[in-house]
Every structure is written in structure tokens, then in C-alpha cells.
């Protein structure tokens, strides 16, 4: 009987212990948010837009210069270069989950020692569209227990874009969206680019029909931009010196004259971003176009 | 002149004319298109396009080609080194570096004048090279080495800037790949008078240069001031190069290939050599550019001409190699590989001290580091888990440093060329090419994929080196030239990839910079085994390494089969380089610097030289790996870059004493 008692006691203790731990874990899950981080700026951007505070990110100063919004929470640590995040620092931060994009697959053997690594693809040929962005956002939401936030982000963005579409003049010609690399070379954005998704969502077409790379652009000399009846949109930043050169460049002036519209300059969003960047760019674009109408 | 040179130039001209005719017969009548040069029809798109883009581009290529060929010939003539070219003296990398710095930290300078910034950078690089080699009366060898070191130095700094500011510097990569797109006559109007004047001045020096060609002492006795002549001619070459580099970007290979081809087709007197080189340079560049413009669809946009000349020039160079009559090795024997009598001897004692230093270094560097809470010493924090991250990297750094140092020592002694290093003979480049192909063909972006690709690339490079040099008995200079060609091909492909702005290219850049980042604990055991075996073989061969630098005749007299020993040593070098490269990336400079440093420390007998350079190599790598993780914390600066920045400084200091 003594034995039985001990047995019972044991199992009781076990049950009590188990219950205690389980409640602890459940408790922790409810109060402590998942500690996640991402190497990729597009993922970081989306995570922050979902209301998650990533514990770490890579190349913070670069994000601030190129992605700009949404703003990085003050609690987010910088782990250095995207190509080689500082592993010691990352392991001290004890993340629960690390997100990467396929560009950084070579980091998996190292990163997986720190936390489970989730590889999410966005930028690849024929994947960049509003549906692609939605899938990407939902996937990140699933991975971070933020399904509801993902749906909210998607629907509020769609509403916002629909509003913007209403402000666009119906007779706007197709857009030739270029970003100057130096005074003679541009990235022209076309199929598979975030800029095209943004333009299409507000009811505009893109003028560049040539093949683009997985990031949605073609790098060309400006001599390849002839014969496009379009509205030229210059996406900032314009490299130093290029603006002066363009004013003196006979060929560029001929191109602008031929397009039939003065070229417009738009503030940039992250060229390889997802939903937050798309909405931001759509706003900037709408503002620029409607300012032009007013003039 | 004989028939061959004339017919060669005639064929080139015919090709250029053919392409021009093709372009001019498109869209409109030939005559209309031709007149668009001077009198464009402002109502016709086609005419405007020809007038503002095609014609200026044609003239730019002709002028640039001629300028680069002249610069190359001047340098090869003055430095008496067939490997000398406008890029050898650090001009292009100096220009590129100053543009990067200006773009990042002083944009107003670029607004002031883009060309001026680039030219200042180029001239400053040249000034440093002169300053370093002044005490040796600008001796050709010292000039070439100084240029090489400066190149590596700027290259390392530029890569650091690049991986930290990839978005901001994207435009500069296009310039670096040499795109010749023109949108008006501005560049032609700027370049033509300046280059014409410089070339005219160069012609004034044909006579003294002819004397120099005969012999140094002969020239001296005839009253030619060597230092003055060298300063003027190199200065001219630098001005020519920096003008071209500043306006259109970096154009590879023309400066090296045009004079080389001229020599090959049998032009030996200096004046015709100048004229023929200029013609060949101009025609080659123009032909390449015209051909590229005719490529279908987007191919023509994605391949910048400057990089393409380098890529096309490489096979040309490889094909020409067996035909190249080389001087024997003794002729190129240099100060740095000279068999010095008062070489320092190593006692067993010193070896223990050196080993002690390496292990103390390992101990300190693995325990002391910046962390989330500032500097920390592992014995006070007891946070032993960080060793998991630090130790494999530090150990791999030591091993890789040792292997590359051994490879470098062997190849420098073998070739008697101070520019030789495992990187220069093309094995690292082969590895890198393999990795580029794997990454960008979409085959794989995992580490295993990169390793396999790299390994296959390295094997191809070694195969090519052996195939092309078997007949000539592995003559060191030819082996080096093979390497130069493979390296040129690799850097061309790399700059095309970087110019394209594909975000994946930065992962490649980080790997190419040479980092121990990816080393895992599992990789250490095979790496250690391979290192010990290969270095042991190196020591077994030390007698060859003592004898081979004495020259072919003496080596044979001592009963050694020159060809076979060279081939075996070459295979050993390949093994060392491939294993080091696959684990820590193609670290570009340890193999070059460690043997130099060991020699500057006074060790010249093969065995001592090997031991000393292994010690130098591994200590330098160890320290670099640690420093790279601290200096810009939390950014992780690749080991290879840090090593070359530290080692380069010491080398420059050492050069002054030489």
C-alpha cells in the first residue's frame, strides 16, 4: 500500500508538475510575443507593418536610407551586414525564429544553430503581383501568429489603393518608370516589379514591355528608351551630378520632348518591397501626378 | 613591315567596316545614315539616334582604344614587363576608389566634376607608386610591385565600402564595367584634343625609349636620365589612362592585349610598334563594341563593353600564349626572389616562439571581443557558448593562412616573379567563376552548391593551365600569363554581374572578399588533415625550391627534371589553393603578401622562407579575422579585406626599405 501511495504520489506530482509547466508555457505564449528577426528588408518591412517588433534586423542604416517606412521600433537591434549578420550578437539575442529570403540560403547552416530558419521567397520571376504580395504577407502572418493583423493590413491597403485610384486622371498615359544609376544609365521598371504592381493597382499601365529580371527591372542606357509614348517618371534618388548632366544632354531632352509630357520626379519607396512599400509608392505617385494636373 | 602585320590590320579594319556598313544600311538609305554624322535630319528618329548615340560611340571607342594601347605600350616599354598594363599601376583602382569616396562622403565634389575626381584619384595612385619606388630610381620591378600592392589595397577598401553601401554605389558599378553608351558629342570633344596631344608628346620619346630597349646601362652611358624618362613616360601613360577611365569607365585588356599582339605579329622597331599598337587597340575596342551593339535583344544592354573586351580578350590571350616567345627565366629574376647570401637562419627556438605567438593569439582573440554589452572578456562573463562561433573561424583563418602562404611561397620561388601568387595563376579565379555560374544560373544558392561549383571551376582552371603549358615545360612566365588571362575573364564576368545590379551579386561579393564566416565545426577536421598533408609535401620539396630559382640550366645540371618538378609543384599549389579557397573564399592577398613579408624579414632559403611565411600568413589571418569582427561591430568585415589592408600597409613600409 505504501508503494501504491508512493506511486500515486509520484504520478500526482508529475501531473501537478506538468500542469504547472503547461500553464507556464501557455501563459508565456499569451504574454511574451514571439522573438523573431529577419535578414531581408522586405520581410522586416512587412513584419513591422504587421505590428510585430523584430528583435533584430540587418543593416539598419541602409533600411533607414532606402526603405524609410515603416519606422524601426527602438527595441530592434542591428546585427550588421545582410550578407554576413553578426552571429555572436544574434545568438545572444536568442531569437525564436529567423526569416530569410532565398538570397541568403548560404547562411542557413550557421543560422539554424541559433534558431529555426524560415526561408520565404518573394522576388522571383512571375511572382510579383498583388496576389503574390498577399500570399507573402499571409505567410509571414501565419509564421508569427499574426493572421488577423495580416488580413487587416491587406484589406486596409486595398481600400487605400482603391481610394488613390479614384484620384487618378483617366487619360494618364502609360508610365515609363526609371531610376537613374548614372547620367546615362537607368533601371527601367516593368513586369515583376513592385512599382508596376503599385501603378496597376491605381489604374495605370507601364510603358516598358521588354523582359525584366527577377527584381522587375532592366538596366539600359538611355539610348534604348526611344519611341515610347509615355509619361516619364523619374524615381529618386538621382545620383549626384546626373541632374546637371541631363539638363545639358540633347538626347535626353529629345526623349522627353518625344514622350509628349514633361518628366516627373517621384520620391522613392523600397524598389524591392512588398505591401507597405507598394502603398507608399502609390501615394507618392498619385501626389505627383495630381500636382501636375493642377499646374 | 612584313606582310603578316599588314594583313592582320586589314582583316580587323574589314571587320569594323562590315559592322559599320551593316548598321548604316538599317532603317534608312545608306547615304542618309552616313550623312547623319554631320547633318542629322532632326525630324527622323533614326537619324537623331545615329547622330547623338551611334556616331559618338564609334569615335569614343576609336579614341579610347588608341589611348589605352599607347598607355599600355609605354608602360611595357618603360617597365620592361610584358604583364604591365594601365591597370597594373593602380590608376584604374585609384580612380574608382576616389569616386566611391566622393560619392559617399563628398557628393559636391562629383557635382563639380566627375572626371576631375577620377583623374585626381588616378594621379594620386601614381604618385604613391612613384613615392614608394623613388629610392630605387623607379626600378621596373619595384614600380610593378608597388602598383600591385596599391591595386590590392584600393581593391580591398573599395570592397568594404561596396558591401556596406551596395545600393548607393550601384551606379558606380556600371562605370566600373565600362559601358560606352553615349548621348551626345561631349565625351568625344573632351577626349579627342587631350589624347591627341598626349600621344604626340609620347612620340617625342620614341628615341630615348629605343635606347632603353637595348639595355639599361647602354641607355645610361648615352646620357639618358633613366628616372626622368620613366617619370615622364609613366606619367603620360597614367594621364592617358585616367582620361579614358574618368570619362567612359574601366576598359579591360586593350592596354595589355594591343601591345602584346603587336609583338606577336612580329613588329619589333619602336615607332611602327607604337603606330600598330594604336591601330590595333582602336580597332579591337571598336570591333568589340560594334559586335556587342548587334547582339540580339537585351544581351546588348546587359554586357558592358569594357568588361566584354576583357572577357573576349582572355581567350585571345590564351590562344596566343603558346606563340609568345618568352625570355628565359633568369632574365626576369628580381630583387625579391634573388638568392641572398646573408639569409637569416631559423633556429628550432624561433619556431617555438612563433608557434607560441600563434597560440597566444588564438587564446586572446577567442576570449576577448565586443558583445551586446560592449567589450567583454570570456573569463569574467563565463559565456562559453560564444566560442562555438569564434573558434572555428579563428582556426580556419590560421589553416587557410598557412596554406595560402605555402602556395604563395612555392609559386613565387618557382616563377621568380614577385607578382606571382596563387590568385595570380588563376586557380582562385577559376573557383570564383564556378561559384558565379552556380549562383546566377539558378542552379543553387546553398553552400554545398557553391562548394561544388567552386571545386569544378578550380579543376577547370588547373586543367587549362596544365593543358596550355605542358608543351613549354611549365615555363613560369607563361603559367603566370595563363593565370592573368583566367583572372581577367573572372573579373570581367564579375563586373558584368555587379553592373547588372542584381541583389544576389552582393552575397557573391562578400564571399569573394574572403571570409571565414561560413566555416563550420564539421569542416575543421578535413581542413586540418589536408593542410598538414599538403604543407608537409611542400617541405619535402624544399630542395627544388632552393634550386629552381637558380635558373633552368643550373637546375638541369643538378640532375633535376625541370618540367616534371614544375608540374608537381604546380599541382601542389593548386591543391593548397583549392582547399583554402573552398573553405574561406578566394582570399586574394595572403598568398601574395606572406612570402613577401617573410622575405622582408630576411628569410630567403626555401625551408626558412616556407616556415616564416606560414607563420606570417597564419598570424596575419588570425589577427585579421578577429579585427574584422570588432572594428565596425556589429558589421562583420571579411577577413581577406582586413588582411590585405593590414598587410598592404606593412608591405608598403617594407618596400621603402628595399
- What would the pLDDT profile of B294-306 be if each residue is shown by its tens digit? 887 666 667 888 8
Contact A240 B110 (CB under 8 A): yes
| Chain B residue numbers touching A102 (CB-CB < 8 A) | 445
CA atoms within 13 A on the CB side of B176: 28
- Dihedral (C-alpha) A196, A199, A201, A204: value to the nearest 10 degrees? -120
Say if B26 is an interface residue toward chain A (CB within 8 Å).
no
Which of B107, B171, B634 is nearest residue A86 as measured by Cβ atoms? B634
**Res. B589 pLDDT band, cuts 50 70 90:** confident
| Chain B residue numbers touching A89 (CB-CB < 8 A) | 371-372, 633-634
Say if B520 is an interface residue toward chain A (CB within 8 Å).
yes
pLDDT over 70 at B216, yes or no:
no
The answer to whether the CB of A46 falls within 8 A of the CB of A275 is: yes
Which of A218, A244, A258 is nearest residue B111 as measured by Cβ atoms? A244
Q: Å from B278 to nearest chain A CA?
A: 28
ipTM of the complex: 0.80
Contact B518 A249 (CB under 8 A): no
B interface mutation test: which of A185, A229, A246 has the most B CBs within 10 A? A185
Q: Which of A73-82, B323-332, B466-475, B638-647 has the lowest mean pLDDT?
A: B323-332
Homologous superfamily, domain B348-657 = ABC transporter involved in vitamin B12 uptake, BtuC (1.10.3470.10)
Bridge partner residues of A232 (DSSP): A176
Which of B48, B371, B507 is nearest residue A83 as measured by Cβ atoms? B507
Task: Give the span between the Cα atoms of B474 and B410, in whole angstroms.
Answer: 14
Contact A181 B174 (CB under 8 A): yes
Grid cell of A213 as nine digits: 529580371
Say if A218 is an interface residue toward chain B (CB within 8 Å).
yes
B interface mutation test: which of A108, A219, A225, A242 has the most B CBs within 10 A? A219
The answer to whether the CB of B509 falls within 8 A of the CB of B160 is: no
SS3 B214: helix
Say if A113 is an interface residue toward chain B (CB within 8 Å).
yes
Contact B635 A81 (CB under 8 A): yes
Domain B23-252 matching CATH 1.10.3470.10: the answer reads yes
pLDDT over 70 at B327, yes or no:
no
Per DSSP, chain A holds a count of helices (H) and strands (E) of 11, 10
Contact B386 A93 (CB under 8 A): no
pLDDT of residue B341: 44
Whole-Å CA distances, B542 to A110, B261, B537, B586: 39, 38, 9, 25
**Res. B329 pLDDT band, cuts 50 70 90:** very low
Q: Which of A235-249, B334-348, B393-407, B456-470 has the lowest mean pLDDT?
A: B334-348
Contact B447 A106 (CB under 8 A): yes
Please name the residue of chain B whose CA is at the shortest distance from the CA of residue A56: B634
Burial of B350 (0-12, 13-18, 19+ CB in 10 A): middle
Give chain A's end-to-end CA distance (angstroms, integer): 96
Which of A66, A103, A226 is nearest residue B507 as measured by Cβ atoms? A103
Going by C-beta distance under 8 Å and a sequence separation of 6 or more, which residues neighbour residue B106?
none
Please name the residue of chain B whose CA is at the shortest distance from the CA of residue A213: B502
Say if A130 is an interface residue toward chain B (CB within 8 Å).
no
| Chain B residue numbers touching A62 (CB-CB < 8 A) | 165, 167
pLDDT over 90 at B206, yes or no:
no
| Chain B residue numbers touching A185 (CB-CB < 8 A) | 171, 174, 179, 181
Bridge partner residues of A118 (DSSP): A99
Please name the residue of chain B whose CA is at the shortest distance from the CA of residue A227: B45
pLDDT of residue B340: 46
Q: Å from A106 to nearest chain B CA?
A: 5
Higher pLDDT, B654 or A117: A117
pLDDT of residue A280: 94
Residue B448: closest CA among A113, A39, A105, A124 = A105
Contact B182 A184 (CB under 8 A): yes
Q: Which residues of chain A have pLDDT under 50?
A: 1-8, 23, 25-30
pLDDT of residue B328: 37
pLDDT in tens, B573-586: 888 888 888 777 77
Residue B298: closest CA among A224, A232, A230, A228 = A224
Task: Give the span between the Cα atoms of B18 and B32, in whole angstroms.
Answer: 18
**Res. B385 pLDDT band, cuts 50 70 90:** confident
pLDDT over 70 at B637, yes or no:
yes
Contact B170 A224 (CB under 8 A): no
Task: Give the span between the Cα atoms of B213 and B43, in whole angstroms.
Answer: 56
Instruction: Report chain B's mean pLDDT, rounded to a whole number.
Output: 81
Whole-Å CA distances, B196 to B203, B231, B326, B407, B462: 11, 20, 33, 45, 43
| Chain A residue numbers touching B445 (CB-CB < 8 A) | 102-103, 105-106
Task: Average the pLDDT over B533-552 and give the result.
Answer: 84
How many C-beta neighbours within 10 Å does residue B607 have?
A: 16
Contact B52 A254 (CB under 8 A): yes
The answer to whether the CB of B464 falls within 8 A of the CB of B433 is: no
The model's pTM: 0.82
Percentage of residues of chain B with pLDDT beyond 70:
89
Angle, CA B485 vertex, CA B484 and CA B489 arms, to 5°: 115
Size of interface A-B (CB pairs under 8 A): 163
Please name the residue of chain A whose CA is at the shortest distance from the CA of residue B164: A81
Q: Which of A135-149, B34-48, B305-319, B640-654 has the largest mean confidence?
A: A135-149
Domain map of chain B by residue range? 23-252, 348-657
Task: Average the pLDDT over B267-287 and give the result.
Answer: 90
Would you tell me which residues 62-101 of chain A have a C-beta closer than 8 angstroms to some C-beta of chain B?
62, 65-66, 77-89, 91-93
How many C-beta neighbours within 10 Å does residue A182 have?
A: 22
Please name the residue of chain B whose CA is at the shortest distance from the CA of residue A78: B634
Note whether B23-252 and B348-657 share their fold.
yes
Contact A109 B447 (CB under 8 A): yes
Whole-Å CA distances, B183 to A183, A222, A237: 10, 8, 21
Pick the CATH number of A33-120 from 3.40.50.300, 3.20.20.210, 3.40.50.1980, 3.30.365.10: 3.40.50.1980
Contact A250 B184 (CB under 8 A): yes
pLDDT in tens, B219-241: 666 666 777 888 888 889 988 99
Which of B108, B504, B520 is nearest residue A103 as measured by Cβ atoms? B504
Q: Å from A115 to nearest chain B CA?
A: 14
Would you tell me which residues 297-316 of chain B have a C-beta closer than 8 angstroms to some C-beta of chain A?
297-298, 301-302
Q: Å from A182 to nearest chain B CA?
A: 5
Q: Are strands B368-371 and A264-266 parallel, antiparallel or unpaired?
A: unpaired
Would you tell me which residues 226-285 of chain A have a C-beta closer than 8 angstroms to some C-beta of chain B?
226-227, 239-241, 244, 248-252, 254, 258, 272
pLDDT over 60 at B8, yes or no:
yes
Please name the residue of chain B whose CA is at the shortest distance from the CA of residue A246: B183
pLDDT over 80 at B378, yes or no:
no
**Res. B403 pLDDT band, cuts 50 70 90:** very high
Please name the residue of chain B whose CA is at the shortest distance from the CA of residue A105: B446
Say if B168 is an interface residue toward chain A (CB within 8 Å).
yes
Would you tell me which residues 144-183 of chain A have a C-beta closer than 8 angstroms to some C-beta of chain B?
180-182
Say if B52 is an interface residue toward chain A (CB within 8 Å).
yes
Which of B52, B447, B500 is nearest residue A219 as measured by Cβ atoms? B500
SS3 content of chain B, % helix, strand, coil (to 5): 75, 0, 25
A interface mutation test: which of B55, B103, B170, B183 has the most A CBs within 10 A? B183
Q: Å from A238 to nearest chain B CA?
A: 10
CATH number for the domain formed by residue range(s) A161-294: 3.40.50.1980
Q: Å from B170 to nearest chain A CA?
A: 7
Which of B45, B503, B636 is nearest residue A103 as measured by Cβ atoms? B503
pLDDT in tens, B608-629: 889 889 998 998 888 888 888 8
pLDDT of residue B217: 63
Amino acid at each position: 500500500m505504501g508503494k501504491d501511495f508512493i506511486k500515486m504520489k509520484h504520478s500526482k506530482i508529475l501531473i501537478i508538475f506538468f500542469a504547472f509547466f503547461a500553464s507556464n508555457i501557455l501563459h508565456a505564449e499569451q504574454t511574451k510575443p514571439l522573438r523573431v528577426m529577419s535578414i531581408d528588408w522586405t520581410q522586416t518591412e512587412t513584419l513591422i507593418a504587421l505590428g510585430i517588433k523584430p528583435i533584430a534586423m540587418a543593416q539598419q542604416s541602409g533600411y533607414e536610407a532606402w526603405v524609410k517606412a515603416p519606422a524601426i521600433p527602438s527595441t530592434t537591434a542591428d546585427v550588421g551586414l545582410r550578407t554576413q549578420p553578426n552571429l555572436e550578437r544574434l545568438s545572444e539575442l536568442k531569437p525564436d525564429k529567423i526569416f530569410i529570403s532565398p538570397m541568403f540560403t548560404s547562411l542557413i547552416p550557421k543560422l539554424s544553430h541559433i534558431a529555426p530558419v524560415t526561408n520565404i521567397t518573394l522576388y522571383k520571376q512571375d511572382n510579383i503581383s498583388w496576389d503574390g504580395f498577399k500570399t507573402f504577407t499571409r505567410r509571414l502572418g501565419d509564421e508569427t501568429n499574426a493572421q488577423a493583423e495580416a488580413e487587416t493590413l491587406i484589406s486596409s491597403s486595398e481600400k487605400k489603393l482603391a481610394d488613390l485610384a479614384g484620384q487618378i486622371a483617366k487619360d494618364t498615359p502609360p508610365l515609363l518608370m526609371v531610376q537613374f544609376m548614372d547620367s546615362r544609365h537607368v533601371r527601367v521598371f516593368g513586369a515583376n516589379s513592385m512599382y508596376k504592381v503599385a501603378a496597376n493597382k491605381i489604374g495605370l499601365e507601364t510603358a516598358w514591355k521588354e523582359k525584366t529580371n527577377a527584381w522587375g527591372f532592366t538596366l539600359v542606357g538611355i539610348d534604348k528608351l526611344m519611341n515610347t509614348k509615355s509619361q516619364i517618371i523619374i524615381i529618386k534618388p538621382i545620383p549626384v551630378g546626373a541632374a546637371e548632366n541631363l539638363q545639358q544632354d540633347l538626347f535626353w531632352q529629345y526623349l522627353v520632348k518625344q514622350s509628349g509630357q514633361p518628366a516627373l520626379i517621384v520620391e522613392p519607396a523600397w524598389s524591392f518591397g512588398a505591401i507597405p512599400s507598394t502603398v507608399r509608392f502609390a501615394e507618392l505617385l498619385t501626389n505627383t501626378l495630381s500636382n501636375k494636373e493642377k499646374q | 613591315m612584313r606582310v603578316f602585320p599588314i594583313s592582320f590590320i586589314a582583316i580587323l579594319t574589314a571587320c569594323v567596316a562590315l559592322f559599320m556598313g551593316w548598321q548604316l544600311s538599317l532603317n534608312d538609305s545608306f547615304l542618309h545614315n552616313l550623312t547623319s554624322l554631320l547633318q542629322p535630319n532632326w525630324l527622323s528618329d533614326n537619324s537623331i539616334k545615329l547622330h547623338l548615340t551611334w556616331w559618338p560611340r564609334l569615335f569614343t571607342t576609336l579614341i579610347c582604344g588608341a589611348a589605352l594601347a599607347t598607355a599600355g605600350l609605354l608602360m611595357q616599354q618603360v617597365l620592361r614587363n610584358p604583364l604591365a598594363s594601365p591597370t597594373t599601376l593602380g590608376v584604374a583602382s585609384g580612380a574608382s576608389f576616389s569616386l566611391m569616396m566622393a560619392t559617399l562622403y563628398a557628393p559636391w565634389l562629383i557635382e563639380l566634376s566627375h572626371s576631375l575626381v577620377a583623374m585626381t584619384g588616378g594621379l594620386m595612385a601614381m604618385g604613391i607608386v612613384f613615392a614608394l619606388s623613388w629610392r630605387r630610381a623607379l626600378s621596373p620591378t619595384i614600380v610593378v610591385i608597388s602598383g600591385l600592392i596599391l591595386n590590392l589595397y584600393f581593391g580591398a577598401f573599395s570592397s568594404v565600402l561596396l558591401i556596406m553601401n551596395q545600393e548607393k554605389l550601384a551606379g558606380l558599378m556600371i562605370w566600373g564595367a565600362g559601358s560606352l553608351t553615349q548621348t551626345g558629342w561631349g565625351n568625344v570633344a573632351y577626349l579627342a584634343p587631350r589624347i591627341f596631344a598626349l600621344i604626340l608628346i609620347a612620340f617625342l620619346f620614341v628615341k630615348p625609349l629605343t635606347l632603353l630597349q637595348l639595355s639599361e646601362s647602354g641607355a645610361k652611358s648615352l646620357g639618358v636620365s633613366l628616372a626622368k624618362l620613366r617619370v615622364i613616360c609613366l606619367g603620360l601613360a597614367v594621364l592617358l589612362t585616367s582620361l579614358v577611365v574618368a570619362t567612359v569607365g574601366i576598359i579591360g585588356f586593350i592596354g595589355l592585349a594591343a601591345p602584346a599582339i603587336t609583338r606577336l605579329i612580329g613588329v619589333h622597331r619602336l615607332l611602327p610598334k607604337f603606330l600598330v599598337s594604336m591601330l590595333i587597340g582602336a580597332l579591337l575596342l571598336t570591333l568589340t563594341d560594334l559586335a556587342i551593339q548587334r547582339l540580339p535583344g537585351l544581351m546588348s544592354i546587359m554586357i558592358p563593353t569594357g568588361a566584354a573586351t576583357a572577357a573576349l580578350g582572355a581567350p585571345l590571350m590564351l590562344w596566343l600564349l603558346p606563340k609568345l616567345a618568352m625570355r628565359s627565366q633568369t632574365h626576369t629574376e628580381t630583387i625579391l626572389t634573388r638568392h641572398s647570401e646573408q639569409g637569416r637562419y631559423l633556429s628550432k627556438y624561433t619556431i617555438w616562439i612563433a608557434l607560441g605567438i600563434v597560440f597566444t593569439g588564438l587564446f586572446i582573440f577567442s576570449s576577448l571581443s565586443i558583445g551586446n554589452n560592449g567589450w567583454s572578456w570570456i573569463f569574467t562573463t563565463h559565456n562559453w557558448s560564444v566560442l562555438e562561433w569564434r573558434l572555428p573561424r579563428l582556426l580556419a583563418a590560421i589553416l587557410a593562412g598557412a596554406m595560402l602562404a605555402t602556395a604563395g611561397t612555392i609559386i613565387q620561388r618557382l616563377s621568380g616573379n614577385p607578382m606571382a601568387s596563387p590568385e595570380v595563376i588563376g586557380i582562385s579565379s577559376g573557383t570564383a567563376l564556378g561559384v558565379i555560374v552556380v549562383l546566377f544560373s539558378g542552379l543553387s544558392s546553398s553552400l554545398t552548391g557553391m562548394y561544388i561549383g567552386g571545386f569544378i571551376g578550380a579543376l577547370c582552371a588547373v586543367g587549362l593551365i596544365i593543358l596550355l603549358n605542358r608543351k613549354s615545360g611549365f615555363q613560369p612566365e607563361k603559367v603566370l600569363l595563363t593565370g592573368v588571362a583566367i583572372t581577367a575573364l573572372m573579373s570581367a564576368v564579375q563586373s558584368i554581374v555587379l553592373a547588372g545590379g542584381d541583389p544576389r551579386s552582393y552575397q557573391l561579393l562578400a564571399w569573394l572578399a574572403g571570409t571565414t564566416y561560413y566555416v563550420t565545426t564539421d569542416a575543421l577536421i578535413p581542413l586540418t588533415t589536408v593542410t598538414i598533408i599538403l604543407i608537409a609535401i611542400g617541405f619535402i620539396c624544399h630542395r627544388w625550391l632552393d634550386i629552381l630559382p637558380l635558373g633552368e640550366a643550373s637546375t638541369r645540371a643538378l640532375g633535376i627534371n625541370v618540367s616534371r618538378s614544375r608540374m608537381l609543384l604546380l599541382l601542389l599549389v593548386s591543391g593548397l589553393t583549392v582547399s583554402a579557397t573552398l573553405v574561406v573564399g578566394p582570399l586574394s592577398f595572403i598568398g601574395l603578401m606572406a612570402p613577401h613579408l617573410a622575405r622582408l624579414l630576411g628569410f630567403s632559403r626555401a625551408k626558412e622562407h616556407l616556415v616564416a611565411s606560414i607563420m606570417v600568413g597564419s598570424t596575419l589571418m588570425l589577427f585579421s579575422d578577429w579585427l574584422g569582427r570588432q572594428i565596425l561591430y556589429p558589421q562583420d568585415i571579411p577577413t581577406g579585406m582586413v588582411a590585405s589592408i593590414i598587410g598592404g600597409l606593412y608591405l608598403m613600409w617594407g618596400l621603402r626599405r628595399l
